[in-house]
Chain A
């Protein structure tokens, strides 16, 4: 798919063409079907994941849940926590801007029933139709040395005040982060009617 972000002029002409022929065609739709398969590479097991899909204002959620939380998986062997959480969302859109992004938070549930943040991550939903295996790397804010010390012994740690920062890039440069593990996803993307608006797919 070619997203003509670069040339406004080109798009404007394209848009006028679309207006001529696209009046009768249906709306552009996007299905995201898949699962949040697993999380790996984290220092401890017993993980769960909070996820959400953020889309721009042009996108309308028709059906499905756009955010959720998985169960806790505590693998006995290996360091991969299998979550297999289904994702099934259906969007309609009037424009390309704000293509859906997936944002994740990996949490750890410890033996005392406390939950602790292990990582933030985000990835774009693929724009090519078909099945995709995605790996989303995650990161975690570090904090100062006291906080790091506290984190090592009693858990807890700095968390983002607003989760928007995960998928918005504006203020990220101010953070000090360390790498956390990865989250593996399988997403199938189904597009509809995008070709009618001049977007090749």
Chain B
């Protein structure tokens, strides 16, 4: 322990020693290596002296100009010489002097810094007036104000009316200022002269103001100076090529400018001359006709030449010109002389050569004689050619003549005297004034008086059309003697989209007529053209209309002689209209320009580059512009021309790219995987996008292949075809051009509506998203208890709830159409035997048809002769048919269920597609006939061969769309029995008891039940949230009314507001307005109001019926006005009913629009009229049928509301069946009105036109259509019978064709005319056929109808067919189509 301590102590000591040794020498010696010194200091005086040796401080005194430029050169003034001198950057004079002195200190190089004007060479001020770089805020002072906006917390209220995107209105200010005529038919001769004088004077004034001559003279002076200075320099210095060239260029320039100047001066003089001439003519004319028409007067002011040295200058100019001509001539002469010498030399040498050759040839000739045989032909030829060449003697040019100074001078003087003012000559300055007294009208001759009177009758106004629609017109202004009209009207046109065209029509109104003088298209202004800054444009117009007058007026476009010796001139009506178009400014200073996205494409990508920046809008011909820049020798230093020069340089570089784009993302292209085009080529991308856009072809497509190659190109074919077809009106498909255009229009409207709906559909309200279950209340609880306590009634049939399937879960093959046929009433009966028929004596067509039995067979009697009828029902849907078993008798019952498969278009089962399906369910009723065929003696064998045939009795058609929207249809329907059914008769006697009482009319009925399996739930109709022009008070009132009524009777139909074709919401009553029916129809049965009314109903029923859900893709119910309806020629129940109601109102009938529900249509609109005998009639406008109020077979099931011209009434009665409804709307307890004392009708106007115009339909079109339908139908019938030959009986066809017009006429008028005789045909043939009548819309419904009758299915050998078509034209292109189809079997 001790040891340890001792050792440790030693160690420490040792360490201390060592450290001393190591640091010792350094610690001791560092003072030896350092030395302390004081700070170095030089005396200021010495330093100044030293510095002065090195430094030079220039003085601030100005340097004399002579010192700065070489002594032999005169100081120049560049600006006076016409060269462009930019503004120098500002430097203070002191600094400038210092700088100059400093430069002058260098004796050798200093002078180089100065220009010819003795100032320092400098570029123009490079500082631009406007900053080109954005000013950025320094970081220390962030100003968040321009990025942020303070917003209060706001309570957001959803205004449903604001959800549609109404673009803000924009304003176009059109200023129609004044109209000036250059010529007008009512101009007198004097006026013509005056107008010409004014024009000439205007030109003269403009020229005087432009002072072109003076400018060009100055330019010549400047150029001359420049040449002088250059030539002076040339003499002193060694000749410089560049300078020489420059002087040459200047001289050339002088010559050009001079000729230009002379030309301009000559023009001035000519103008003056012609002014004087016209004025003289005018004076003589005034004297000649002894009256004055215009107040124009020309004063000539003499002006002495002010400057004294003009003569000198004039002479100098001439001398110089001669000198220049001389110089040029000399140059040319030198050249010519040289050429001449050359020629001479050439000629001399040629002569010499010739001589030599001649000699050598002679020598050769001698040789040749010895070896002629050896020489080949070729050589010979060569030689000959040589000789020929030689023989061409070079032409000797004449020696050029010397310069003839006198001749040149004479020429120059002659020319100059023609074009220029002589010095000292008195100048005349014409001045126009309107001081001449116009002769009073009374003092004028008769013809002139007439002219002035005529003038009073003419007035002019200007009509403004935007997009070919009249927007406004100016007030009319009467023409006066000056033929100058100040309109001074500014129109503010409110627009929403970029206008397509702005047009100003100048119209002249006289007492007799009004006609358009001119149509002026005003260019649509750039977005930068604003009201207030827009320049007035003068638009010239002229018209070639020929106008002649009896009196003094000159007329238009006819030759007129003015003055004595003048040639005839043919003046055309012409003039200018001063106007301007600009974009308006809002109150808050915003520019009311439509959004750029609505501007046409070319405007958007217009040339936004140098050309527009210089104000040359619309310059597109860049090469020409470049040429102009080159030729006009713009001063390249002038900053005003900088953009142009830049453009020029770009053009020179060969890349004239008027920038078509602005690159927002640089280097984007370099980083791209593929180009835009390649990407768009990708089929997968295209398919995905089209599917996303919900294009109808791709809507159903669910899975898209992953690879491009798995997508066939033909997928898009259909889509592309549709896109292409959009703009092509296909006449073939629609048979009538008008319909084709209409179809096109409907497509367009439909697309627009679709677009609107896509937007609306994606806007959800809370109720769309959240379904709140009603909470259980006491009443529901009580009801539940009540049902539990109810008596059990096991025999009472109950409807089983079927499975409901939403449309999106459907796929092909799932859906079936179920048709339950229960029974039929009062079917047509077979007529008795033929013998009976023959006994009939009435020869009328109708009777003849009725009395011929169809089952008359030569072979034998039908089996069941006693049977009145063996009917069965066949249902056909989408070309598939299904039939019931055969029943017996005219009132059969089947109770059978038929199933038909249903397939949707493209396999798309979405609700929009299903709604727009146009397939129809045809329920056809047939009579089955059975024949025994007895061939030879077979009967004895006990074998019987029977042949069954079916005869079509009638049909019911129900559109699938109706079925879909109602999900089931149940009821008793009237069967459409053809007007003429051969061998059958509808009997009234057959009805017994109740039916007889209730149903006085002749008709057959069928009870059916239709539904789909599984039950398809139709999609919810889209709520209509559209903008409206109606007052909001009205809209709210209507909405409140609707809600109240709906609460009372939720199932009754009520419409207060509807949408028109542009998507605006309107109150329904606006649609009812008396409209006069076409006079053609009123004239047919003048004395019979009843039949006239029926005829009108028939006319309207002939307008094709298309449900809105089909037309507008099942989106909504659009109401068209009557004129739109008649143009479109298609519409649903509402349009038909509205038109019928309007007609009835015009005829003075009391009528209402009845909204309710009916079978099979579901919710529908009928027309209710009050007859004179206080009974009510219910009209189905789309079928043209009318029903008594107490008709038990009336399809109308429920009466919801009535719409009159001024009010809407809702049915508040306990029952809504039409039979039990009291139609007296004055009883407010029974009928709740919309407008009452507390909520009065504000006097709503009608949206209908004041009158409807009906174009008479061309009969030839109808005939053409008739032929085409017939041809198509015949082809189709042959197509449907692929196995048997189809023979057409031409004789029968002709007879039928004659018979058809009578049928139409029989319907139209009461008088029954007898037609052609079918009797002998019926004697020879057994005929089975009937006429079909339908409105004309398109071809396929006709084909479909004919197919559904099944006449073509006749399998009997040797059967013949007859088919006749008749198209009856009604006004406004409404057509009634009759098709008579029959099969004929030979009786013999």
Instruction: Tell whether, in the assembled complex, residue A175 and residue B685 are in contact, meaning their CB atoms are under 8 Å apart.
Output: no
A112: chain B residues within 8 A (beta carbon): 155
* A11→B689 CA distance, assembly (Å): 30
Instruction: Tell whether, in the assembled complex, residue B670 and residue A92 are in contact, meaning their CB atoms are under 8 Å apart.
Output: no
Chain B, residue nearest A159 (CB): B151
Instruction: Tell whether, in the assembled complex, residue B708 and residue A95 are in contact, meaning their CB atoms are under 8 Å apart.
Output: no
**Is B153's CB within 8 Å of the partner chain A?**
yes
Interface size class of A (residues with CB under 8 A): 35 or more
- What's the minimum C-beta distance from B140 to chain A, rounded to whole angstroms? 11
A173: chain B residues within 8 A (beta carbon): 139, 142
Instruction: Tell whether, in the assembled complex, residue B137 and residue A156 are in contact, meaning their CB atoms are under 8 Å apart.
Output: no
B150: chain A residues within 8 A (beta carbon): 143, 147, 156-159
- Of the stretches B673-681, B834-842, B1167-1175, the one at the interface is B673-681
**Is B18's CB within 8 Å of the partner chain A?**
no
- Of the stretches A57-65, A73-81, A126-134, A180-188, the one at the interface is A57-65
Beyond A26-B684, A94-B675, A156-B150, is A174–B155 a contact (Cβ under 8 Å)?
A: no
**Is A149's CB within 8 Å of the partner chain B?**
no
Chain A, residue nearest B673 (CB): A197
Instruction: Tell whether, in the assembled complex, residue A63 and residue B153 are in contact, meaning their CB atoms are under 8 Å apart.
Output: no
- Which of B146, B153, B665, B674 is A27 in contact with, Cβ under 8 Å? B674
Instruction: Tell whether, in the assembled complex, residue A15 and residue B670 are in contact, meaning their CB atoms are under 8 Å apart.
Output: yes
B668: chain A residues within 8 A (beta carbon): 56-58, 95, 97
Instruction: Tell whether, in the assembled complex, residue A113 and residue B155 are in contact, meaning their CB atoms are under 8 Å apart.
Output: yes
**Is A20's CB within 8 Å of the partner chain B?**
no
Instruction: Tell whether, in the assembled complex, residue B692 and residue A174 are in contact, meaning their CB atoms are under 8 Å apart.
Output: no
Instruction: Tell whether, in the assembled complex, residue B156 and residue A22 are in contact, meaning their CB atoms are under 8 Å apart.
Output: no
* A15→B143 CA distance, assembly (Å): 44
- What's the minimum C-beta distance from A173 to chain B, rounded to whole angstroms? 7
Interface size class of B (residues with CB under 8 A): 35 or more
**Is A88's CB within 8 Å of the partner chain B?**
no
Instruction: Tell whether, in the assembled complex, residue A110 and residue B153 are in contact, meaning their CB atoms are under 8 Å apart.
Output: yes
Instruction: Tell whether, in the assembled complex, residue A92 and residue B682 are in contact, meaning their CB atoms are under 8 Å apart.
Output: yes
B156: chain A residues within 8 A (beta carbon): 113, 115
* A60→B151 CA distance, assembly (Å): 34
Beyond A114-B154, A156-B151, A161-B149, is A15–B144 a contact (Cβ under 8 Å)?
A: no
Instruction: Tell whether, in the assembled complex, residue B144 and residue A175 are in contact, meaning their CB atoms are under 8 Å apart.
Output: yes
* A160→B148 CA distance, assembly (Å): 5
Chain B, residue nearest A3 (CB): B671
Task: Give residues of chain B (109-161) contacting chain A, Cβ–Cβ below 8 Å.
Answer: 137, 139, 142-144, 146-156
**Is B672's CB within 8 Å of the partner chain A?**
yes
- Which of B144, B146, B672 is A94 in contact with, Cβ under 8 Å? B672
A154: chain B residues within 8 A (beta carbon): 152-153
Task: Give residues of chain B (632-676) contacting chain A, Cβ–Cβ below 8 Å.
Answer: 664-665, 667-668, 670-676
Instruction: Tell whether, in the assembled complex, residue A175 and residue B142 are in contact, meaning their CB atoms are under 8 Å apart.
Output: yes
* A90→B691 CA distance, assembly (Å): 13
B674: chain A residues within 8 A (beta carbon): 18-19, 22, 27, 94, 197
- What's the minimum C-beta distance from A119 to chain B, rounded to whole angstroms? 14
Instruction: Tell whether, in the assembled complex, residue A62 and residue B689 are in contact, meaning their CB atoms are under 8 Å apart.
Output: yes
Of listed A92, A147, A158, A174, residue having the most chain B CB within 10 A: A174
* A63→B12 CA distance, assembly (Å): 87
Beyond A161-B149, A176-B144, is A18–B154 a contact (Cβ under 8 Å)?
A: no
Task: Give residues of chain A (136-155) contacting chain B, Cβ–Cβ below 8 Å.
Answer: 141, 143, 147, 154-155
Instruction: Tell whether, in the assembled complex, residue B673 and residue A95 are in contact, meaning their CB atoms are under 8 Å apart.
Output: yes
* A157→B149 CA distance, assembly (Å): 8
* A161→B668 CA distance, assembly (Å): 28
B689: chain A residues within 8 A (beta carbon): 60, 62
**Is A179's CB within 8 Å of the partner chain B?**
no
Instruction: Tell whether, in the assembled complex, residue A62 and residue B664 are in contact, meaning their CB atoms are under 8 Å apart.
Output: no
B682: chain A residues within 8 A (beta carbon): 26-27, 92
- What's the minimum C-beta distance from A153 to chain B, rounded to whole angstroms? 11
A26: chain B residues within 8 A (beta carbon): 682, 684, 706-708
- What's the minimum C-beta distance from A87 to chain B, rounded to whole angstroms? 17
B688: chain A residues within 8 A (beta carbon): 62-63, 90, 92
Instruction: Tell whether, in the assembled complex, residue B665 and residue A116 are in contact, meaning their CB atoms are under 8 Å apart.
Output: no
B672: chain A residues within 8 A (beta carbon): 15, 58, 94-95
B143: chain A residues within 8 A (beta carbon): 174
Chain B, residue nearest A158 (CB): B148
Beyond A63-B692, A94-B674, is A115–B153 a contact (Cβ under 8 Å)?
A: yes
- Which of A11, A28, A157 is B671 in contact with, Cβ under 8 Å? A11
- What's the minimum C-beta distance from A170 to chain B, rounded to whole angstroms? 10
A176: chain B residues within 8 A (beta carbon): 142, 144
- Which of A96, A115, A143 is B148 in contact with, Cβ under 8 Å? A143
* A57→B1298 CA distance, assembly (Å): 70
Per-position contact with A for B827-868: 1 when CB-CB < 8 Å, else 0? Answer: 000000000000000000000000000000000000000000
**Is A165's CB within 8 Å of the partner chain B?**
yes
Task: Give residues of chain A (23-75) contacting chain B, Cβ–Cβ below 8 Å.
Answer: 23-24, 26-28, 56-58, 60, 62-63
* A161→B144 CA distance, assembly (Å): 11
- What's the minimum C-beta distance from B679 to chain A, rounded to whole angstroms? 4
**Is A93's CB within 8 Å of the partner chain B?**
yes
The list of the 5 closest CB pairs from A to B, nearest first, reads A95-B672, A197-B673, A158-B148, A155-B153, A114-B153
Give A residues with C-beta under 8 Å from B: 8, 11-12, 15, 18-19, 22-24, 26-28, 56-58, 60, 62-63, 90, 92-98, 110, 112-117, 141, 143, 147, 154-161, 165, 171, 173-176, 197
Give B residues with C-beta under 8 Å from A: 137, 139, 142-144, 146-156, 664-665, 667-668, 670-676, 678-679, 682, 684-685, 688-689, 691-692, 706-709
- Apart from A24-B709, A175-B148, 16 more pairs, CB < 8 Å: A15-B670, A26-B684, A26-B707, A27-B682, A56-B668, A57-B668, A58-B668, A93-B673, A94-B673, A95-B668, A95-B671, A97-B668, A112-B155, A113-B156, A116-B153, A173-B139
28 A–B pairs (Cβ distance < 8 Å), ordered by A:
A8-B667, A12-B670, A15-B670, A15-B671, A22-B673, A23-B678, A24-B709, A27-B682, A58-B672, A92-B679, A92-B685, A92-B688, A94-B676, A94-B679, A97-B668, A113-B155, A114-B154, A154-B152, A154-B153, A157-B150, A158-B149, A158-B151, A160-B149, A161-B146, A173-B139, A173-B142, A175-B148, A197-B673
